[in-house]
């Protein structure tokens, strides 16, 4: 029963653990194997998605080129060449007018000729060129793009070309030069035209060139004049500057001299003052030194005294500490002694207790032994009394048994008188004979068998009514002889 | 009967037929109980082994049987099975010794009988619930299989009424049914493992007790 009792505290723990195992199992099932039968949604990937990006990329590159033309005007802003571009524009406009008016005049002459087409082509080309020139001129006018240098260069070019034209007197080159002037990037090769056209063009070109040349000369003269003015102005300014600088230098020199003088004076004063100061300082230092020495002496004395005091204090402290330590050690010793004594006392007590226990145990055992001895003695006495009583009864019944068996022996005639047979008889409760064994034969087989038969015949053998006595009759040793 | 039907664990259990649900409940209960016994046995067997070792050590290191007897009879519950066997044997021995005229053999017989009785009682306590574990281990797979078979039968019966049979008609039913088998196996496997383990442990303990009884008898016979 106690085993069930001691198993109880484990029941709750076991139950909790079992629940925990199941919870873990279900959680695992729920999260690990939630069998959703939803088909996986296929990712729709458009392979061509990336290409537009690549196509779109070049566009910013295309956007960039227009920037430079805007940047250029910014660079040329500070230059104010207003007059010359205008002259250029006037030139171009004049050209246009001439070119427009002349082909119209010529047209009636050439209407039949093959060159008509060529003239028309030329005219178209020229119109194109003019339109481009217009655009360029407008751009120039609006943004004030051209730098002075470029204009100069152009003017020089124009001059050179005009001279070349005069010298060479060929129209093609002039035309080429014109075209190059108009737009150097586009080189439009002049188409060979008819002689009349050439003559016309020569005239027109000459006029134009002359006009251009004259205007260029004029502008050159103007520029030169402007330049001279500017140079004169610059010179004047430079002279002014130099004068101003000279003035400034003179003033600076004067100031410097004044300064040096003042400094020399100041230095002299300072020297005197310094000497005075030095003397004063020397005195002061001497006094200070004396004071310092005195102070130092005083301090040394004070220090000595302080040190002495400090040493005294330290000694006193050390003494106090030493005393404390000694006291503490003594205390500890006392404690240890006390502990040791207590331990000794405890041990003694324990020993005493153990002894007392041992004695008690010994006493108890002795008492037990005595009691047992007494009990044994009493039992023996009682048993002896009983045995005496039993012995009588047993003897009586044994005699009865033997008598009963003897009565049943069938005596035979020639049995020796001194024959003696001994039997071991085992009895069962109730007087029945379990077996009878011949222990010592009599020497006469007939007598032995007769006795054996008599034992069997005498069943049930007489037994005492008290069943407790049966043990005495369980195994009997019986002796028989014909004498008795 | 959509293919996109929700086949989550709880959903499957809810959709199962009543009989299959009953089977599942039974299996859950059985599994809980078997796990409870597994842990209980684990603790008790471990404790019994530990106590036996301790008692044997104190028995062989102690010359005075009387003192050992007093100690074990004082701590009664904590001395373990072997301690209780010893206490029972020694008590009987002392009682018989007090009766004079008893044959030494008779005394030893009585002592041995008393020890054997206590040993049987202890073994009974140690072996309790082991039979339950064995039963769970052998039967619960069949119970789970029964639930599965029933569920699959239902699933196919439903299939008979449909003109065009597809796997989608049967699959949820079979999945439901198979949960029962899974639960049966979940209950059975640990139970079988635990049964084998503990029966082995307890057999070893029993042989240890018997050896101790024989040795103790010898010690007692030598006593004056």
Contact B9 A2 (CB under 8 A): no
Is B6–A36 a contact, with Cβ atoms under 8 angstroms apart?
yes
All residues of chain B having their beta carbon less than 8 Å from the beta carbon of residue A471 are none
Nearest CA in chain A to B75: A2
Contact with chain A for residue B37, Cβ under 8 A = yes
Give me the residue from B5, B35, B81 closest to A21, CB to CB. B35
- Are B136 and B191 a contacting pair, CB within 8 Å? yes
Cβ-Cβ contacts under 8 Å for A392 (sequence gap 6 or more): none
Nearest to B44 among A2, A7, A34 (CB): A7
- Can you tell me the distance from the alpha carbon of A257 to that of A278, in angstroms, rounded to the nearest whole number? 30
Domain that holds residue A418: 409-480
Query: What backbone phi and psi angles, to 5 degrees, belong to B4?
Result: -85, 20
A446 within domain boundaries: yes
Better-scored residue on pLDDT, B18 or B170: B18
Average pLDDT (A106-131) is 65
- Report the chain A residue with the minimal C-alpha distance to residue B42: A14
Dist CA A422 CA B19 (whole Å): 87
Q: Cα separation of A81 and A89, whole Å?
A: 13
Residue A153 lies in a domain: yes
Question: What is the phi/psi pair of residue A72, to 5°?
Answer: -60, -55
Asked whether A191 and A115 are in contact (CB, 8 A), the reply is no
- Tell me what the pLDDT averaged over chain A comes to: 74
- The answer to whether B3 contacts A19, with C-beta atoms less than 8 Å apart, is no
Residue A202: pLDDT over 80? no
Rounded CA-CA distance B96/B114 in Å is: 11
- CATH number, domain containing residue A456: 3.30.1150.10
Rounded mean pLDDT, A251-275: 84
Distance from CA of B28 to the nearest CA of A (A): 9
> Does residue A1 belong to any structural domain of this protein?
no
Note whether B9 contacts A33, CB cutoff 8 Å: yes
Name the domain count of chain A: 2
Q: Tell me phi and psi for residue A428, to 5 degrees.
A: -105, 155
Say which residue the tokens 């106690």 belong to. A2
SS3 A422: strand
Q: How far apart (Å, rounded) are the C-alpha atoms in residues B12 and B29?
A: 19
Q: What is the DSSP letter of B155?
A: H
pTM: 0.38
Is residue A146 very low, low, confident or very high in pLDDT (cuts 50, 70, 90)?
low
d(CA B182, CA B180): 5
B125 and A13: CB-CB below 8 Å?
A: no
Question: Cβ of A36 and B8 within 8 Å?
Answer: yes
**Is the predicted pLDDT of residue A156 greater than 80, yes or no?**
no
**A345 at interface of B, judged by CB pairs closer than 8 A:** no
Q: Is the ipTM of this complex over 0.85?
A: no
Give the separation between CA A432 and CA A456, rounded to whole angstroms: 9
Q: Are the C-beta atoms of B90 and B116 separated by less than 8 Å?
A: no
Q: Does residue A325 lie within any of the structural domains?
A: no
- Cβ atoms of residues A453 and A412 within 8 Å: no
Band of residue A103 on the pLDDT scale cut at 50, 70, 90? very low
* Residues in chain B closer than 8 A to A29 (CB atoms): 9
Q: Which of A189, A204, A197, A203 is nearest to A116 (CA)?
A: A197
Residue where one domain finishes, among candidates A152, A167, A193:
A193
The sign one gets for the Cα dihedral B67, B73, B75, B77 is positive
CB-based contact (8 Å) between B35 and chain A?
yes
Residue in A with minimal Cα distance to B79: A3
* More confident of the two residues A45 and B212: B212
* pLDDT value, residue A46: 66
Say yes or no: A8 contacts chain B, CB-CB below 8 A: no
* Residue A255, domain member (yes or no): no
A75 occurs within a structural domain = yes
Is there a contact between A409 and A456 (Cβ–Cβ < 8 Å)? no
DSSP-derived letter for residue A38 is P
B61 vs A104, more confident: B61
At A222, the pLDDT band (50, 70, 90 cuts) reads confident
Q: What is the pLDDT of residue B189?
A: 93
Q: How far apart are CA A161 and CA A178, in angstroms?
A: 9
Residue A268, pLDDT score: 84
Interface of A with B in 363-402 (CB under 8 A): 372, 376, 379
Distance of CA A473 to the CA centre of its chain: 101
Nearest Cα neighbor of B30 from B148, B168, B140, B142 is B140
pLDDT band with cut points at 50, 70 and 90 for residue A75: very low
Q: pLDDT per residue over A39-65, tens digit each?
A: 556 677 666 655 555 544 444 444 444
Domain boundaries, chain B: 17-222
Check CB contact of B142 with chain A, cutoff 8 Å.
no
Confidence (pLDDT) at A122: 74
């Amino acid at each position: 029963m106690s085993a069930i009792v001691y198993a109880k505290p484990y029941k709750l723990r076991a139950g909790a653990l079992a629940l925990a195992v199941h919870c873990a199992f279900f959680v695992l099932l729920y999260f690990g194997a939630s069998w959703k039968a939803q088909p996986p949604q296929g990712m729709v990937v458009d392979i061509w998605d990336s290409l537009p990006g690549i196509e779109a990329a070049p566009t910013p590159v295309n956007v960039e080129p227009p920037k430079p033309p805007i940047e250029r005007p910014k660079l040329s802003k500070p230059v104010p060449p207003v007059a010359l571009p205008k002259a250029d524009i006037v030139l171009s406009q004049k050209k246009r007018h001439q070119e427009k008016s002349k082909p119209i005049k010529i047209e009636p002459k050439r209407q039949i000729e093959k060159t008509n087409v060529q003239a028309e082509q030329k005219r178209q080309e020229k119109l194109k060129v003019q339109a481009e020139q217009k655009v360029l001129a407008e751009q120039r006018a609006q943004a004030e793009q051209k730098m002075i240098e470029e204009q100069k260069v152009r003017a020089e070019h124009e001059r050179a070309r005009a001279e070349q034209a005069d010298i060479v007197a060929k129209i093609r080159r002039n035309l080429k030069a014109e075209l190059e002037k108009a737009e150097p990037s586009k080189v439009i090769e002049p188409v060979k035209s008819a002689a009349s056209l050439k003559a016309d063009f020569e005239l027109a070109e000459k006029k134009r060139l002359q006009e251009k040349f004259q205007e260029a000369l004029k502008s050159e003269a103007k520029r030169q004049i402007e330049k001279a003015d500017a140079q004169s102005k610059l010179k004047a300014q430079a002279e002014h500057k130099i004068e101003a600088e000279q003035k400034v230098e003179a003033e600076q020199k004067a100031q410097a001299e004044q300064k040096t003088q003042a400094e020399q004076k100041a230095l002299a004063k300072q020297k005197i003052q310094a000497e005075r100061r030095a003397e004063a300082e020397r005195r002061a230092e001497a006094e200070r030194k004396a004071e310092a020495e005195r102070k130092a002496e005083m301090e040394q004395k004070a220090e000595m005294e302080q040190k002495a005091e400090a040493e005294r204090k330290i000694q006193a402290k050390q003494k106090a500490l030493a005393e404390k330590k000694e006291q503490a050690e003594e205390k500890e010793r006392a404690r240890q002694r006390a502990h040791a004594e207590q331990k000794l006392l405890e041990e003694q007590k324990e020993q005493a207790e153990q002894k007392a226990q041992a004695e008690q145990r010994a006493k108890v055992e002795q008492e037990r032994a005595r009691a047992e001895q007494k009990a044994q003695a009493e039992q023996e006495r009682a048993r002896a009394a009983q045995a005496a009583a039993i012995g009588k009864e047993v003897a009586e019944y044994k005699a009865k048994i033997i008598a009963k068996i003897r009565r049943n022996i069938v005596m035979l005639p020639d049995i020796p008188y001194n024959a003696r047979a001994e039997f071991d008889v085992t009895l069962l409760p109730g007087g029945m004979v379990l077996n009878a064994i011949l222990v010592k034969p009599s020497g006469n087989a007939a007598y032995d068998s007769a006795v054996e038969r008599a034992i069997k015949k005498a069943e049930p053998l007489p037994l005492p009514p008290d069943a407790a006595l049966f043990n005495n009759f369980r195994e009997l040793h019986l002796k028989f002889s014909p004498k008795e | 009967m959509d293919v996109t039907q929700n086949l989550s664990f709880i959903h499957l259990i809810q959709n199962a037929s009543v009989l299959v649900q009953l089977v599942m409940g039974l299996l859950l209960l059985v599994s809980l109980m078997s796990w409870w016994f597994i842990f209980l046995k684990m603790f008790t067997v471990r404790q019994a082994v530990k106590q036996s070792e301790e008692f044997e050590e104190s028995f062989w290191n102690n010359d005075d049987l009387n003192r050992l007897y007093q100690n074990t009879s004082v701590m009664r519950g904590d001395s373990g099975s072997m301690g209780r066997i010893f206490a029972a044997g020694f008590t009987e021995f002392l009682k018989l010794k007090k009766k004079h005229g008893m044959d030494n053999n008779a005394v030893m017989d009585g002592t041995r009988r008393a020890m054997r009785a206590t040993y049987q009682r202890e073994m009974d306590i140690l072996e309790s619930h082991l039979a339950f574990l064995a039963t769970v281990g052998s039967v619960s797979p069949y119970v789970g299989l029964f639930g599965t078979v029933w569920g699959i039968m239902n699933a196919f019966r439903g299939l008979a009424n449909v003109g065009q049979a597809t796997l989608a008609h049967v699959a949820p039913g079979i999945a439901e049914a198979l949960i029962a088998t899974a639960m049966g196996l979940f209950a059975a496997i640990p139970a079988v493992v635990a049964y084998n383990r503990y029966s082995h442990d307890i057999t070893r303990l029993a042989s240890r007790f018997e050896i101790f009884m024989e040795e103790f008898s010898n010690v007692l016979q030598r006593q004056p």
